[in-house]
Structure 1
Amino acid sequence: MRLLKTFSLAKIVAIFLFLFAVIGARAQESLLIGPGDLVHVVYFDAGELNQQSRVTDAGDFPLLMGGNIRIAGLTPEQAAAKIAAFMSSSHYLVNPRVVVTVDSYATQSVSVLGAVHLPGAYPIATGKTISEVLALAGGLLPDADRTVVVQRRVTGELLTFYNANSPLTTPDSSAPGVKRTGTTLLTREVMVYPGDTVRVAHAELVYVLGDVGRPGGFPIVNNDAPLTVLQLISLAGATNKTANPNSARLIRKLPDGKFEDIHLPLSSMQKGKQADRPLQAGDIIYVPFSYLKNALLGVGNIASAAGSATIYRY
């Protein structure tokens, strides 16, 4: 009778430990196992085989029964299924029930680089959405591009996400052994995991200076369509009543580093008498004040002013 009670108690404890391990595994089942992670393998009904070991640099887990099994790049649930299948096919166990948990990850931080307020490494123990990770880094800078790249720690895969109103098709990366896919931030909240790297590029800028509502620089992030003169003037709060749009100028930097000073028929464009025109990265629109002194401002002075202009986000 005492033996029966002892057996029952042991069975209850084993079941409790198994369920606890299952809950722990499922709580982090979306996190991928990587080299250096401390992994705990629990066998239900075969506790003597339970073990805790680190994943090797090659991504393998050394089994007590001999041999290694590759589990890097798998979720804990997938790793448990693979180990169970191995133990069964090798005739070590019949219908094994296995739970895998990661006691500690080799990398417990995510790196956020590029056009964010506070680039650096931030500790995270579980997966976070990309919005949460960007918030850790203080958010995007005004000149941040809408393209956000996440590099996975384990696989090296590059996932490119575009913060736009429509999906962006991203060309395959030229880097060997690296996959790249595309999606949209607004349609799917992307998950970032410990060890991943998030990169935000700086957007190319165009400038509008002079007698406008908001003179400054504006990122070219117009859903991959070229930003036009009238769109930029609108973003800048339109021309002021004191402006002289008939004398507007487009300053464009040439490949040799020199500047081209182009007369811009802004007044006629605003009235629909002249076609709107696309802008190139680095273009500067200068709308002079009505008095002559500003209309005759030199190209060098305009270019220098653009270098210290306020950058706006829209």
Structure 2
Amino acid sequence: MGSSRLRPPAALPDAHARTRNLTQFVTFLVLKGSRGAGSRRRHIGRLVILVLSLLTYVAVGAWSELAIEPLQAKLQQPGAPQPEPSQPTPSAPPPAEPSPPQPSWPQPSQPAPSPLPGQAEPSQPAPGPAQQAVVGPTPSLPVGYTIGASDVLAITVWDQADLGGRFVVDGDGTFMFPYIGRVKAGGLRLQELETELKRRLKEGYFKDPQLTVVVEQYQSQRLYIVGEVRNPGTYPLTGNMTLIEAVARAGSTLPTASYEALVVRNPNGKKAEGPVLPDEAGGGNVVRVNLKALQSGAPDENVQLRNGDTIFVPRAETVYVFGQVNSPGSYAITQGTTVLQALSLAGGVTDRGATGRIKIMRIVDGEEAEVSAELTDAVQAGDTIIVPERFF
């Protein structure tokens, strides 16, 4: 019997044919190996794994021919758009958070030092738009201050630095100055003393002396602050001091202070040896100031102080609120305070209070009297407001 030999099939042109031929070829190898010794049959499992691997490889090749190759051929045609290489898109920076506006505080102007004799004043550049800011008013200098005993003067002579220094005014109003001896300063203003020193120095010592005089320590003029302030006492009168500046130096008023301050002036301009209370001075020498209006910025209430003035801040007038209120106790009032306002200071009436039967205990002609009151009635200093309980 003639033996028929198995031959590997010819390869087909397409991918499916190649896959079928490869499968037949592997089957041919398996069948051929099965005709051999029995030991070769044990390798069938290995060959099956080989077949599966080859099928996977062929399937991948077929997919590349059916999908990728036609796409590449289409892209290679003339006029076909070429894909741009992908570039990483730069991420836009996060929007900056708006910074809160910074307040532009006016910077205090610093006075330029006076030039030395014989030197030209330095030229200042014209201010630009950013430099033309509005600057607040500068504090008033004590140009009108009158020098007195115990004041400490700082005198600077620009062309003779060794002549300047600190000078204390003696009790007679004079002080010793180099070359010219005793100089009368008591009762003079600062500009007047400068003129006197220049005149004395020109008499055989200097041709055109340039000097300045300032008060380093104010000791000759003082005022007194008493009453409902945090730090009552004696304070030096510096320059053009006003009432609001003096009260600020005393630590401001206490919560128990009245809304009125009394400035007591000495009669005929006499120097006071201590504080003078309102009942010790005549009515014409007492200036009444509304502190509430002063705190609101009323310029007319800001009194110009003088040497020896006494600032007296009295205790506020009070009323007492008891009964069916949330916070019974003593409360400061002003002139014209009503019963309703006094009850508001006490936290208001409770839900058990009877607002229609409010009573006021008041001292009339030295005796205590009971007065029926309405909510719109004005109270007086020392009144005791009683809110009774409702019947139902």
Higher relative contact order (CA 8 A, sep 6+): 1
CA change 1:28–1:55 in 2 (3 A) is: farther
The answer as to whether partners of 1:129 and 1:191 remain within 8 angstroms in 2 is: no
Change (3 A) 1:239 1:180: closer
Q: Residues of 1 paired with 2:168 and 2:214: CA distance?
A: 12
Residues 1:229 and 2:339 are matched in the alignment? yes
Which residue, out of 366, 372, 375, partners 1:263? 372
Distance 1:260 1:114, change over 3 A: same
Rate the CA distance shift 1:54–1:149 in 2: closer, same or farther, 3 A: farther
The 8 Å contact of residues 53 and 61 in structure 1, kept in 2 or not, is answered as no
Of 151, 161, 168, 1:54 maps to 168
Q: 1:34 to 1:288 in 2, by over 3 A?
A: farther
User: Which of 192, 197, 208 pairs up with 1:82?
Assistant: 192
Counterpart contact for 2:320–2:385, Cα < 8 Å: yes
Whether the aligned pair in 2 keeps the contact of 1:133 and 1:192 (CA below 8 Å) is no
After superposition, what is the alpha-carbon deviation per residue over 1:18-56, rounded to whole angstroms, capped at 9, x for unaligned?
xxxxxxxx9994394442112233334466764643224
The equivalent residue for 2:390 is: 290
- Mapping for residues 1-80 of structure 1, pairs under 5 Å: 29-30=141-142, 32=145, 33-45=147-159, 50=164, 52-57=166-171, 60-62=173-175, 64=177, 65=180, 68-72=183-187, 78-79=189-190
Residue 182 of structure 1 and its aligned partner are, at CA, apart by: 4.8
The equivalences for 1:102-117 within 5 A come to: 102-106=215-219, 112-117=225-230
Q: What is the rounded CA distance, in whole Å, between the counterparts of 1:87 and 1:109 in structure 2?
A: 26
Per the alignment, residue 296 of structure 2 pairs with 186
Quote the residue 2:313 is aligned against. 200
- 2:359 and 2:344 map into 1 onto residues whose CA distance is 16
SS in 1 for 2:343: helix
Change over 3 Å in CA distance of 1:111–1:284 after alignment to 2: same
Give a deviation string over 1:98-157, Cα, whole Å, max 9, x none.
31133444389986532235545789999894564343xxx53332112345689x9979
Alpha-carbon separation, structure 2, partners of 1:198 and 1:180? 10
Q: Which amino acid aligns with 2:390?
A: S
Q: 1:232 to 1:71 in 2, by over 3 A?
A: same
| Identity of matched residues, % | 24
Given the two structures, how large is their TM-score scaled by the length of structure 1? 0.54
Residues 149 and 186 in structure 2, CA contact (< 8 A), matched pair in contact too: no
Deviation at 1:84, TM superposition (A): 3.2
RMSD of aligned residue pairs (Cα, Å): 5.0
**Equivalent residue, structure 2, for 1:133:** 249
Which has the larger Rg?
A: 2
Greater strand fraction, Structure 1 or Structure 2: 1
Partner Cα distance (1:129, 1:233) in 2: 35
For the Cα contact (< 8 Å) 1:129–1:192, is it kept in 2? Answer: no
Whichever residue aligns with residue 209 of structure 1, its letter is F
Partner of 2:122: none
Task: From 315, 321, 326, give the equivalent of 1:213.
Answer: 326
> Which residue in 1 is equivalent to 2:282?
174
Correspondence 1:101 to 2:214: yes
Retained in 2: the 8 A contact 1:143–1:205? no
Aligned to 2:256: 143
- Go from structure 1 to structure 2 and tell me whether the alpha carbon gap of 1:38 and 1:204 turns closer, same or farther (over 3 Å shift): same
Which stretches in structure 2 are left out of the alignment for 5+ residues? 1-114, 120-137, 273-280
Distance (Å, rounded) in 2 between the aligned partners of 1:181 and 1:237:
32
Q: What letter matches 1:30 in structure 2?
A: P
What's 2:351 paired with?
241
Residue 202 of structure 1: SS of its match in structure 2? coil
1:69, 1:250 → 2: CA distance? 66
Query: Which residue pairs with 1:160 in the alignment?
Result: none
- The residue that corresponds to 1:166 in the other structure is none
Are the structure 2 counterparts of residues 34 and 200 from structure 1 closer, same or farther at C-alpha, using a change threshold of 3 Å?
farther
